[in-house]
Amino acid sequence: MIEWNIVSMLTGATIAILSSFIYSTLTNAFLSGGRFRSKEEAIIIYLTTSFIFAFLTPIIKSIWFQVVQVLTLLKIAGLLIIIGNAVINQSVKRWKHTTLKTIMIYLLGILLFLFG
């Protein structure tokens, strides 16, 4: 049961990271490909992305299920920290992956993954 919850968390985080490379939203804008998009373009981009990710989700989930089978709980925790940190920093455009706090969080995740 816990394995499926972890697999679902990792799958959701993976989809979030992938989608953040395709589009992002601001308070009053939709960005894709480094350009502001109209509402019509935003809807098409969002629906296309959703459609593609609907097909990719089972594949990603099965990959994560195989990975979780061979990792210890501490390694999984490290992986969740690394991926969660990446998702948050990728989602908030003003946050950088290279600040001291962010690097320390990545380092914690890496240490757990390597030595867990």
Give the DSSP H or E segment for 116. Answer: none
- Using CA atoms, how far apart are residues 49 and 27, in angstroms rounded to an integer? 20
What are the DSSP calls for 9-70, one per residue? HHHHHHHHHHHHHHEEEETTEEEETTEE--HHHHHHHHHHHHHHHHHHHHHHHHHHHHHHHH
What pLDDT is recorded for position 56? 95
Per-domain residue ranges of the chain = 1-69, 71-116
Q: What are the structure tokens assigned to 11, written together?
A: 């799958």
What pLDDT is recorded for position 47? 95
The pTM assigned to this predicted structure is: 0.78
- Using CA atoms, how far apart are residues 64 and 109, in angstroms rounded to an integer? 17
Across the chain, which has 116 residues, the per-10-residue mean pLDDT values are 83 90 85 90 94 96 94 91 88 82 96 93
